[in-house]
Structure formats: C-alpha cells, structure tokens
C-alpha cells in the first residue's frame, strides 16, 4: 500500500514536471528592459506601447509559441539594466532580450548577451559602436553618425558655414559631434566651438550664453529623446533665433513626443533623422493612427518605431526558425531581414547586425494646426558611417594579406 502510494506520487510528480516542461517550451519570452521612470521615461513609455501595439496587430502566438513580454524598469541606470537582464536570463529564461533606452545600458548588458548566447535587440540606444560590443546584438533604432552626416551635407549648401555644436556628453553625443564636424569641415564649413553638456540634469543656460557670444550661423544640437523641449525653450527665451542663429540638429531635438508642445518658435527648425510621424506612407499613417488610438492620442516618436520594428524582427526570426530556434538560430534569422517599416524601407545588415535605412531632412511645419517634422529630402539606404570606416580599415588589411582580393566584409551588401 505504502509502495503503491509512493509510486503514484512519483508518477504525479513526473507528470507535473513534464507538463510544466511542455508549458515552458510553448512560451517564448521577450525580456524588455526600458527606462519606465526617471529622465528617459518617455522612451520606455513609447517603446512599450509600440511593442504592445505590434502584438495586438500580429497576435501573441508565433510558430506555435505563445509570446510573453516581460517589461522591467531600469530607470536608465546601467547597473540596474545589468541586474535586471541577469535576472531575466537566469530566472525567467528569456529567449530574447530587448529595449535598452540609452547607450550605457546596452553596453552594460552586451557581455551578458554574449555569455548566455541570448540575442539582444537594441531598440533605442544609438552610439555607433554598440553593435561591436557583442555578436548577439541586433539594432533596430539608428546611429548618430547616420543622422549627423546628412545634416552636415545639407548645411553648407543652405548658407550655414560656421557652426557651434552642443551635445550630451556621452557616447551618442560624441558620435554626433565627431561625424557632424568631420563632414562639415570636408564640405568647406567650420565648427568654431564644441560644447558638451552633462547627460544627467543638464542646465543649458550657461552653454547657450556661450553660443550667443560665438555668433555662429547655426547651433547643431544632439540631446537624447525627452530633453529637446528644454533646449528649444531656452534657445527661444534667449532670443537666439532673433539674433540670427539657426537651430539645427538630429531629430532627437524635435522629438515627436514633445514637438507639438514646443510652440511656434520651433517652426522652421531643420533636422535629419530616420523617422517622422508625418512620414507620408500608407503604412505609417496606419501606424500613427493605431498607436494614437491605443494610447490616448499619444503620437509615436522614433523610439516607438524602433520598438515596433524590433518586435517585427523577433517575430519573423521565431517564424523562420519554426519556433525551434535557440539563441544562435534566432540571431541568424534576424540578420539580413529586409522590410517596410513605418519609417520607410529598412534592412538589418547581416555583417554588422546594424540597421541600414533612409535618412530624411525635415523642417518643422504646421499641418492641421499641429507641429510636425515634414520631410523634404531623403538620402537612401544609409549604412552607419561609423561601420563604413571600420569596414574600410578591415578591407585595407585583408587586401594586403590577399593580394588585393579583400574578403566578405569588403563586399557591398545586397539588400
Ligand atoms: C543613447 O543613449 O544611445 C540615445 C538615447 C536617446 C537618443 C539617442 C541616443 O535620442
């Protein structure tokens, strides 16, 4: 009797273990680590909303697996991002990590992605070198060199020769400053002063006073999403536009999340970026409408589109691997994806795992009583200029070793 009871108990335990095994197998977990509170909270809010919209539109089951989105708030502190990512890998056994609101967060998680062979889809952070920090990183946002170079080509052709740069003092700001300056100088322009403001709680006033004194044709700005409205306000309050100084920058400064509240002083500001809520395509119109309807009228910004497309990359990788893929297989299926995004055509370069996309020049205009970044020119299929330099370097050395033959990294990708 005792023996039969023991056998029954063991059988039940085995059944429970195997059932929970099947249940666990049927789930596909995405660990989305984002700043949901603190200085970068708008980034978290936009990306989470976009990821949920993607799931609502495309269902929550792919290749027989139920998608589970686990959202964690890192308050944009990289130590927190690392701790949360570690917990997601070890305790939750996530299949994919995603999010990463700022560069230091992505950098903090990169070694964990490598050690655990977990694909890490960077949806926001935009320093060029991020994708080189782990072979498991795939990026769906943009890079600052991509956006900055386009503006440095436009500026001198439009009467802007002398520029002061003002950037947040960390990875993406330093990329923006460097690539803007190099290209502007190449085009015959001049950066007469380079100013860097702290990332945390910046006070722009003393820096803007310096800009006024330097009397450039334009002030080029990079600040991360969420900080643009403060720059715009202080720029206008100091009457810098009236003093003949133009404000230009990457599209982070006229962020769609804040633009409509910046007031008419923002009219005419020219920026370069990969996404505008006013992008005139049928797909984008649908995206903006659905996003707004699901989020009490909120307008999606470039962070939202990074999150939306990141989900697309994950869903399609899971579908391509028929739900069976581990980290390596998923990563393989993410590389080389090409599709129409609300931003336009986009492509995940299989060699660099970085996004190749169109970059637009835009001007703030009023449409139906609201402020928008209205696109007026496009540079097609822009690869990250940071990577192009790196690849040229690799190619140079390969060609030395192979009698000029080059090698795989030296071939142009064929989207
Ligand atoms: C970054 O930290 O990489 C970052 C954050 C916000 C932006 C752009 C880049 O708008």
Q: Please report, in tens digits, the pLDDT of each residue of the chain (415 residues total).
A: 445 544 444 444 444 444 444 444 489 999 999 999 999 999 999 999 999 999 999 999 999 999 999 999 999 999 999 999 999 999 999 999 999 999 999 999 999 999 999 999 999 999 999 999 999 999 999 999 999 999 999 999 999 999 999 999 999 999 999 999 999 999 999 999 999 999 998 899 999 999 999 999 999 999 999 999 999 999 999 999 999 999 999 999 999 999 999 999 999 999 999 999 999 999 999 999 999 999 999 999 999 999 999 999 999 999 999 999 899 999 999 999 999 999 999 999 999 999 999 999 999 999 999 999 999 999 999 999 998 655 555 555 555 554 433 333 444 333 3
**Are residues 217 and 246 in contact, defined by beta-carbon separation less than 8 angstroms?**
yes
Which residue's CA lies nearest to atom 8 of ligand 1? 224
Q: What is the largest CA-CA distance in the chain?
A: 95
- Among candidate residues 142, 98, 88, 153, the one with its CA nearest the CA of residue 120: 98
Tell me the C-alpha to C-alpha distance, in Å, between residue 9 and each of 2, 3, 51, 129. Answer: 11, 10, 43, 55
**What distance in Å separates the CA atoms of residue 253 and residue 192, rounded to the nearest whole number?**
21
Does ligand 1 lie within 6 Å of residue 249's CB atom?
no
Overall size of the chain counted in residues? 415
pLDDT for the residue 413 = 34
pLDDT at 408: 37
Distance 202 CA to ligand 1 centre (A): 15
The pLDDT assigned to 325 comes to: 81
For a substitution probing ligand 1, which of 44, 103, 130, 145 has the most ligand atoms within 8 Å of its CB? 103
The whole-number pLDDT of residue 26 equals: 84
- For a mutational test of ligand 1's pocket, the pick from 106, 224, 230, i.e. the residue with the most ligand atoms closer than 8 A to its C-beta, is 224
What's the rounded Cα separation, in Å, for the pair 410 and 202?
42
Strand-pair partners of 370: 367
DSSP letter for each residue of 276-325: -TT---HHHHHHHHHHHHHTTTPPP-HHHHHHHHHHHHHHHHHHHTTT--
Ligand 1, atom 6: nearest CA belongs to which residue?
A: 224
Per-residue confidence (pLDDT) for residue 13, from 0 to 100 = 43
CA distance 268 to 365: 6
By C-alpha distance, which of 286, 288, 277, 283 is closest to 254? 277
The residue written with tokens 């992505």 in the block is: 106
State whether the beta carbon of 272 lies less than 6 angstroms from ligand 1. Answer: no
Indicate which residue's Cα is closest to atom 7 of ligand 1: 224
Dihedrals phi, psi of 271, to nearest 5 degrees: -135, 165
- Predicted local confidence at residue 396, as pLDDT: 57
Q: Is 127 in the pocket of ligand 1 (CB under 6 A)?
A: yes
Distance of CA 116 from the midpoint of ligand 1 (Å): 25
The DSSP code sequence of 34-64 is: E--SSTTHHHHHHHHHHHHHHHHHH-SEETT
pTM given for the model = 0.90
What is the helix (H) or strand (E) element at residue 162, kind and residue range? strand 162-168
Question: If you compute the radius of gyration of the chain from its CA atoms, what whole number of angstroms results?
Answer: 23
């Amino acid at each position: 009797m005792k023996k039969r009871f023991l056998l029954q108990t063991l059988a039940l335990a085995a059944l429970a273990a195997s059932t929970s095994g099947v249940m666990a197998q049927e789930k596909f977990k995405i660990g989305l680590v984002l700043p949901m509170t603190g200085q970068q909270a708008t980034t978290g809010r936009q990306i989470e909303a976009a990821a949920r919209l993607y799931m609502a539109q495309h269902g929550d089951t792919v290749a027989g697996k139920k998608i589970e989105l686990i959202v964690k708030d890192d308050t944009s502190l990289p130590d927190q991002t690392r701790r949360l990512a570690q917990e997601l890998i070890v305790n939750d056994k996530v299949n994919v990590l995603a999010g990463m609101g700022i560069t230091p967060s992505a950098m903090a998680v990169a070694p964990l992605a490598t050690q655990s062979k977990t694909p890490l889809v960077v949806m926001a952070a935009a320093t060029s070198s991020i994708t080189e920090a782990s072979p498991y990183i795939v990026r769906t946002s943009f890079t600052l060199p991509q956006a900055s170079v386009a503006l440095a080509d436009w500026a001198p052709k439009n009467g802007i020769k002398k520029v002061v740069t003002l950037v947040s003092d960390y990875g993406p700001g330093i990329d923006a400053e460097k690539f803007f300056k190099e290209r502007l100088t190449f085009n015959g322009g001049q950066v007469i002063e380079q100013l860097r403001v702290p990332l945390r709680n910046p006070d722009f006033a003393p820096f803007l006073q310096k800009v006024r004194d330097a009397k450039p044709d334009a002030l080029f700005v990079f600040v991360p999403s969420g900080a643009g409205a403060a720059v715009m306000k202080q720029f206008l309050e100091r009457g810098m536009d009236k003093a003949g100084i133009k404000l230009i920058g990457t599209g982070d400064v006229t962020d769609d999340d804040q633009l409509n509240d910046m007031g008419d002083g923002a009219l005419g500001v020219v920026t370069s970026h990969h996404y505008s809520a006013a992008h005139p395509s049928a797909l984008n119109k649908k995206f903006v409408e659905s996003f707004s309807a699901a989020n009490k009228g909120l307008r999606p910004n470039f962070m939202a589109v990074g999150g939306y497309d990141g989900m697309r990359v994950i869903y399609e990788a899971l579908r391509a691997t028929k739900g069976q893929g581990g980290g390596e297989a998923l990563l393989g299926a993410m590389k080389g994806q090409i599709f129409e995004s609300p931003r336009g055509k986009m492509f995940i370069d299989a060699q660099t795992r970085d996004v190749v996309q169109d970059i637009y020049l835009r001007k703030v205009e009023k449409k139906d009583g609201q402020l928008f970044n209205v696109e007026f020119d496009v540079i097609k299929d822009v690869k990250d200029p940071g990577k192009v330099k790196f690849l040229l370097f690799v190619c140079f050395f390969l060609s030395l070793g192979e009698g000029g033959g080059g090698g795989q990294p030296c071939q142009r990708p064929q989207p």
